[in-house]
Structure 1
Amino acid sequence: MHAHITLDGPAGTLRVSGEGLPSVELVRTAGTPADAHTPIGTRKGELLTLTVDGAPASIRPARGRLLRRSYRVDVRADGVRYRLVPCSYGESRLSRDGRALGLLSSSGDGRVIDEWDEGVEPTPLDLAVGTALAAAFGTGASPWWETLGDIIGELI
Protein backbone atom coordinates (compact mmCIF):
# COMPACT_ATOMS: atom_id res chain seq x y z
CA MET A 1 0.00 0.00 0.00
CA HIS A 2 1.25 3.42 -0.91
CA ALA A 3 -0.21 6.66 0.43
CA HIS A 4 -0.54 9.71 -1.77
CA ILE A 5 -0.31 12.96 0.22
CA THR A 6 -1.66 16.34 -0.90
CA LEU A 7 -0.80 19.09 1.60
CA ASP A 8 -1.51 22.80 1.18
CA GLY A 9 -0.44 24.40 4.44
CA PRO A 10 -1.37 28.00 3.61
CA ALA A 11 -4.88 26.87 2.60
CA GLY A 12 -5.07 24.47 5.55
CA THR A 13 -5.91 21.32 3.63
CA LEU A 14 -4.50 17.80 3.70
CA ARG A 15 -5.66 14.70 1.86
CA VAL A 16 -4.22 11.20 2.09
CA SER A 17 -5.44 8.61 -0.38
CA GLY A 18 -4.25 5.53 -2.20
CA GLU A 19 -5.38 2.25 -3.63
CA GLY A 20 -6.80 0.14 -0.82
CA LEU A 21 -6.59 3.00 1.70
CA PRO A 22 -9.44 4.93 3.29
CA SER A 23 -9.25 8.59 2.30
CA VAL A 24 -8.32 10.93 5.13
CA GLU A 25 -8.99 14.65 4.94
CA LEU A 26 -7.96 17.27 7.46
CA VAL A 27 -9.11 20.85 6.94
CA ARG A 28 -8.33 24.02 8.90
CA THR A 29 -11.28 26.39 9.23
CA ALA A 30 -11.37 28.77 6.25
CA GLY A 31 -10.12 32.27 6.91
CA THR A 32 -8.06 31.35 9.97
CA PRO A 33 -4.42 32.41 9.93
CA ALA A 34 -1.77 29.70 9.61
CA ASP A 35 0.97 29.40 12.19
CA ALA A 36 4.47 29.00 10.77
CA HIS A 37 5.42 25.96 12.84
CA THR A 38 2.69 23.46 11.93
CA PRO A 39 2.36 22.14 8.37
CA ILE A 40 -1.49 22.21 8.48
CA GLY A 41 -1.28 25.68 10.03
CA THR A 42 -2.64 25.15 13.55
CA ARG A 43 -2.58 22.93 16.63
CA LYS A 44 -5.99 24.22 17.74
CA GLY A 45 -8.36 21.27 17.52
CA GLU A 46 -11.43 23.48 17.34
CA LEU A 47 -10.13 24.86 14.01
CA LEU A 48 -9.68 21.40 12.44
CA THR A 49 -12.15 19.03 10.80
CA LEU A 50 -11.09 15.43 10.21
CA THR A 51 -12.90 12.88 8.06
CA VAL A 52 -11.95 9.28 7.34
CA ASP A 53 -13.64 7.77 4.30
CA GLY A 54 -16.15 10.62 4.49
CA ALA A 55 -17.13 9.92 8.11
CA PRO A 56 -16.34 12.47 10.83
CA ALA A 57 -13.49 11.58 13.18
CA SER A 58 -12.28 13.39 16.29
CA ILE A 59 -8.85 14.98 16.50
CA ARG A 60 -7.18 16.50 19.56
CA PRO A 61 -3.72 17.94 19.04
CA ALA A 62 -1.97 18.92 22.27
CA ARG A 63 -0.67 22.48 22.54
CA GLY A 64 3.00 21.77 21.84
CA ARG A 65 5.01 23.36 24.62
CA LEU A 66 8.00 22.19 26.63
CA LEU A 67 7.76 18.40 26.78
CA ARG A 68 7.79 16.11 23.73
CA ARG A 69 4.53 14.60 24.98
CA SER A 70 2.93 18.04 24.65
CA TYR A 71 3.22 17.65 20.85
CA ARG A 72 1.05 14.51 20.76
CA VAL A 73 -1.98 14.24 18.52
CA ASP A 74 -4.92 11.99 19.43
CA VAL A 75 -7.49 10.74 16.93
CA ARG A 76 -10.55 8.54 17.22
CA ALA A 77 -11.63 7.11 13.88
CA ASP A 78 -13.93 4.17 13.19
CA GLY A 79 -13.85 3.16 16.88
CA VAL A 80 -10.03 3.10 16.97
CA ARG A 81 -7.83 5.39 19.09
CA TYR A 82 -4.60 6.63 17.52
CA ARG A 83 -1.83 8.66 19.10
CA LEU A 84 1.21 10.19 17.43
CA VAL A 85 3.83 11.45 19.88
CA PRO A 86 7.43 12.58 19.30
CA CYS A 87 10.08 10.18 20.55
CA SER A 88 13.28 11.76 19.13
CA TYR A 89 14.41 14.86 17.25
CA GLY A 90 12.92 13.71 13.95
CA GLU A 91 10.58 10.81 14.64
CA SER A 92 7.22 10.24 16.27
CA ARG A 93 5.71 6.97 17.48
CA LEU A 94 2.28 5.92 16.25
CA SER A 95 0.12 3.78 18.50
CA ARG A 96 -3.31 2.19 18.06
CA ASP A 97 -5.43 1.63 21.17
CA GLY A 98 -2.27 1.96 23.28
CA ARG A 99 -0.19 -0.53 21.24
CA ALA A 100 2.95 0.82 19.55
CA LEU A 101 2.89 0.35 15.78
CA GLY A 102 5.98 2.08 14.45
CA LEU A 103 7.90 5.27 13.80
CA LEU A 104 6.98 8.00 11.34
CA SER A 105 9.09 10.91 10.19
CA SER A 106 8.15 14.02 8.25
CA SER A 107 9.76 17.43 8.11
CA GLY A 108 6.48 19.08 7.15
CA ASP A 109 7.13 18.98 3.40
CA GLY A 110 4.23 16.66 2.60
CA ARG A 111 6.34 13.49 2.60
CA VAL A 112 6.25 10.80 5.29
CA ILE A 113 8.63 7.92 5.93
CA ASP A 114 7.26 5.01 7.95
CA GLU A 115 9.12 2.25 9.77
CA TRP A 116 6.79 -0.32 11.31
CA ASP A 117 7.83 -2.29 14.38
CA GLU A 118 8.87 -5.90 13.89
CA GLY A 119 5.82 -8.12 13.65
CA VAL A 120 3.44 -5.24 12.96
CA GLU A 121 1.43 -5.39 9.76
CA PRO A 122 -0.32 -1.99 9.59
CA THR A 123 -3.95 -1.94 8.53
CA PRO A 124 -5.00 0.41 5.74
CA LEU A 125 -6.54 2.64 8.43
CA ASP A 126 -3.26 2.65 10.42
CA LEU A 127 -1.30 3.70 7.35
CA ALA A 128 -3.76 6.37 6.21
CA VAL A 129 -4.32 7.99 9.62
CA GLY A 130 -0.66 7.80 10.66
CA THR A 131 0.49 9.31 7.38
CA ALA A 132 -2.07 12.11 7.67
CA LEU A 133 -1.03 12.99 11.22
CA ALA A 134 2.70 12.98 10.43
CA ALA A 135 2.18 15.12 7.31
CA ALA A 136 -0.20 17.56 9.02
CA PHE A 137 1.78 18.13 12.21
CA GLY A 138 5.33 17.07 11.38
CA THR A 139 7.26 14.69 13.59
CA GLY A 140 9.88 14.79 16.31
CA ALA A 141 10.70 17.40 18.92
CA SER A 142 13.62 18.53 21.01
CA PRO A 143 13.96 17.21 24.57
CA TRP A 144 12.57 19.46 27.30
CA TRP A 145 15.96 20.50 28.63
CA GLU A 146 17.10 21.71 25.22
CA THR A 147 13.87 23.62 24.66
CA LEU A 148 14.19 25.22 28.08
CA GLY A 149 17.78 26.20 27.28
CA ASP A 150 16.62 27.84 24.05
CA ILE A 151 13.92 29.80 25.91
CA ILE A 152 16.42 31.01 28.52
CA GLY A 153 18.89 31.91 25.77
CA GLU A 154 16.24 34.03 24.04
CA LEU A 155 15.48 35.85 27.29
CA ILE A 156 19.14 36.69 27.92
Structure 2
Amino acid sequence: MYVQIDLDGPAGTLRVSGHGLPTVELVRAPGTDPDAHTPIGTRKRALLALTVDGEPAVIRPARGRLLRRSYRVDVRTGGVRYRLVPCGYVDSRLTRDGRRIGTFTSSGDGKVIDEWDGDPTPHDLAVGAALAAAFGTGASPWWETLGDIVGELIP
Protein backbone atom coordinates (compact mmCIF):
# COMPACT_ATOMS: atom_id res chain seq x y z
CA MET A 1 0.00 0.00 0.00
CA TYR A 2 1.15 3.50 -0.81
CA VAL A 3 1.36 5.81 2.21
CA GLN A 4 1.17 9.57 1.60
CA ILE A 5 2.91 11.59 4.34
CA ASP A 6 2.42 15.36 4.51
CA LEU A 7 4.51 16.88 7.31
CA ASP A 8 4.82 20.61 7.98
CA GLY A 9 6.97 20.86 11.10
CA PRO A 10 7.00 24.66 11.39
CA ALA A 11 3.18 24.74 11.18
CA GLY A 12 2.89 21.67 13.41
CA THR A 13 0.76 19.51 11.11
CA LEU A 14 1.04 15.94 9.91
CA ARG A 15 -1.36 14.00 7.71
CA VAL A 16 -0.91 10.37 6.71
CA SER A 17 -3.28 8.93 4.13
CA GLY A 18 -3.50 6.48 1.25
CA HIS A 19 -5.92 4.25 -0.61
CA GLY A 20 -7.39 1.78 1.89
CA LEU A 21 -5.71 3.46 4.87
CA PRO A 22 -7.34 5.35 7.70
CA THR A 23 -6.31 9.00 7.66
CA VAL A 24 -4.11 9.93 10.61
CA GLU A 25 -3.76 13.59 11.55
CA LEU A 26 -1.51 15.01 14.25
CA VAL A 27 -1.63 18.72 15.01
CA ARG A 28 0.46 20.84 17.36
CA ALA A 29 -1.50 23.53 19.18
CA PRO A 30 -1.75 26.72 17.08
CA GLY A 31 0.49 29.58 18.11
CA THR A 32 3.10 27.38 19.82
CA ASP A 33 6.74 27.68 18.84
CA PRO A 34 8.28 24.44 17.53
CA ASP A 35 11.28 22.87 19.23
CA ALA A 36 14.26 22.16 17.01
CA HIS A 37 14.58 18.46 17.87
CA THR A 38 11.14 17.05 17.06
CA PRO A 39 9.78 17.00 13.49
CA ILE A 40 6.19 17.85 14.63
CA GLY A 41 7.68 20.54 16.88
CA THR A 42 6.95 19.25 20.40
CA ARG A 43 6.92 16.24 22.68
CA LYS A 44 4.46 17.89 25.09
CA ARG A 45 1.28 15.82 24.98
CA ALA A 46 -0.91 18.75 26.06
CA LEU A 47 0.06 20.53 22.81
CA LEU A 48 -0.81 17.62 20.50
CA ALA A 49 -4.12 16.41 19.06
CA LEU A 50 -4.30 13.08 17.22
CA THR A 51 -7.13 11.63 15.15
CA VAL A 52 -7.24 8.25 13.43
CA ASP A 53 -9.93 7.85 10.77
CA GLY A 54 -11.65 10.97 12.14
CA GLU A 55 -11.82 9.64 15.72
CA PRO A 56 -9.82 11.22 18.57
CA ALA A 57 -6.93 9.07 19.80
CA VAL A 58 -4.73 9.35 22.87
CA ILE A 59 -1.07 10.17 22.25
CA ARG A 60 1.59 10.18 24.96
CA PRO A 61 5.12 11.01 23.85
CA ALA A 62 7.73 10.58 26.58
CA ARG A 63 10.04 13.50 27.35
CA GLY A 64 13.08 12.34 25.35
CA ARG A 65 16.05 12.54 27.69
CA LEU A 66 18.97 10.21 28.43
CA LEU A 67 17.64 6.70 27.80
CA ARG A 68 16.36 5.43 24.44
CA ARG A 69 13.15 4.39 26.18
CA SER A 70 12.56 8.05 27.10
CA TYR A 71 11.95 8.74 23.38
CA ARG A 72 8.98 6.34 23.18
CA VAL A 73 5.61 7.46 21.88
CA ASP A 74 2.43 5.67 23.00
CA VAL A 75 -0.90 5.81 21.18
CA ARG A 76 -4.26 4.31 22.08
CA THR A 77 -6.81 4.13 19.29
CA GLY A 78 -9.81 1.88 18.77
CA GLY A 79 -8.90 -0.28 21.76
CA VAL A 80 -5.37 -0.91 20.42
CA ARG A 81 -2.14 0.23 22.08
CA TYR A 82 0.77 1.21 19.82
CA ARG A 83 4.28 2.11 20.97
CA LEU A 84 7.17 3.42 18.90
CA VAL A 85 10.50 3.21 20.74
CA PRO A 86 14.11 3.54 19.51
CA CYS A 87 15.98 0.25 19.16
CA GLY A 88 19.15 1.54 17.46
CA TYR A 89 20.90 4.67 16.26
CA VAL A 90 18.50 5.25 13.36
CA ASP A 91 15.59 2.87 13.77
CA SER A 92 12.66 2.36 16.12
CA ARG A 93 10.40 -0.63 16.69
CA LEU A 94 6.62 -0.47 16.61
CA THR A 95 4.59 -2.66 18.93
CA ARG A 96 0.86 -3.34 18.93
CA ASP A 97 -0.54 -4.39 22.31
CA GLY A 98 3.00 -5.19 23.46
CA ARG A 99 3.99 -7.36 20.47
CA ARG A 100 6.64 -6.18 18.01
CA ILE A 101 5.15 -5.76 14.54
CA GLY A 102 7.68 -3.66 12.63
CA THR A 103 10.70 -1.38 12.45
CA PHE A 104 10.80 2.18 11.13
CA THR A 105 13.51 4.58 10.00
CA SER A 106 12.93 8.32 9.55
CA SER A 107 15.29 11.24 9.87
CA GLY A 108 12.43 13.67 10.48
CA ASP A 109 12.10 14.88 6.90
CA GLY A 110 8.68 13.32 6.30
CA LYS A 111 10.10 10.23 4.62
CA VAL A 112 9.64 6.86 6.35
CA ILE A 113 11.11 3.43 5.65
CA ASP A 114 9.24 0.51 7.20
CA GLU A 115 9.95 -3.21 7.63
CA TRP A 116 7.23 -5.52 8.92
CA ASP A 117 7.26 -8.75 10.92
CA GLY A 118 4.35 -10.21 8.94
CA ASP A 119 1.38 -8.49 7.31
CA PRO A 120 0.46 -5.14 8.85
CA THR A 121 -3.12 -3.94 9.07
CA PRO A 122 -4.04 -0.62 7.43
CA HIS A 123 -4.12 0.94 10.94
CA ASP A 124 -0.61 -0.41 11.66
CA LEU A 125 0.69 1.17 8.44
CA ALA A 126 -0.93 4.55 9.01
CA VAL A 127 -0.24 4.91 12.74
CA GLY A 128 3.35 3.62 12.46
CA ALA A 129 4.18 5.97 9.58
CA ALA A 130 2.61 8.91 11.42
CA LEU A 131 4.60 8.31 14.61
CA ALA A 132 7.89 7.80 12.77
CA ALA A 133 7.37 10.94 10.66
CA ALA A 134 6.19 13.11 13.57
CA PHE A 135 8.87 12.15 16.09
CA GLY A 136 11.71 10.70 14.02
CA THR A 137 13.36 7.39 14.87
CA GLY A 138 16.44 6.06 16.62
CA ALA A 139 18.55 7.41 19.47
CA SER A 140 22.04 7.06 20.84
CA PRO A 141 22.59 4.68 23.77
CA TRP A 142 22.58 6.27 27.22
CA TRP A 143 26.31 5.81 27.78
CA GLU A 144 27.16 7.65 24.57
CA THR A 145 24.78 10.50 25.39
CA LEU A 146 26.23 10.74 28.91
CA GLY A 147 29.75 10.81 27.45
CA ASP A 148 28.76 13.70 25.16
CA ILE A 149 27.33 15.64 28.14
CA VAL A 150 30.47 15.08 30.22
CA GLY A 151 32.65 16.04 27.25
CA GLU A 152 30.81 19.35 26.93
CA LEU A 153 31.43 20.12 30.62
CA ILE A 154 35.18 19.53 30.49
CA PRO A 155 37.13 22.55 29.21
Give TM-score scaled by structure 1 length: 0.98
Q: Which runs of 4+ in 1 moved over 2 A?
A: none
Q: Deviation at 1:102?
A: 1.1
Once residues 84 and 116 of structure 2 are traced to their aligned partners in structure 1, the CA distance between those partners, rounded to angstroms, is: 13
SS of residue matched to 1:147: helix
Any unmatched runs of 5+ in structure 1? Answer: none
SS of residue matched to 1:42: coil
Structure-to-structure mapping, 1:27-46, within 5 angstroms? 27-46=27-46
Tell me the residue number matched to 2:90.
Answer: 90
**Once superposed, what is the RMSD of the aligned Cα atoms?**
0.4
1:49 correspondence with 2:79: no
Q: Which amino acid aligns with 1:15?
A: R
Match of 1:129 among 123, 127, 130: 127
Q: Deviation at 1:62?
A: 0.2
* 1:49-107 deviation line (CA, Å, top 9, x unaligned): 00001100000000000000000000001110000000000000000000100100000
Aligned-residue sequence identity (percent) comes to 79
Give TM-score scaled by structure 2 length: 0.98
Once residues 96 and 131 of structure 1 are traced to their aligned partners in structure 2, the CA distance between those partners, rounded to angstroms, is: 14
Q: Which amino acid aligns with 1:50?
A: L
Q: Which amino acid aligns with 1:138?
A: G
Query: Which segment is superposed worse, 145-154 or 131-140?
Result: 145-154
Once residues 91 and 127 of structure 2 are traced to their aligned partners in structure 1, the CA distance between those partners, rounded to angstroms, is: 16
Once residues 119 and 97 of structure 2 are traced to their aligned partners in structure 1, the CA distance between those partners, rounded to angstroms, is: 15
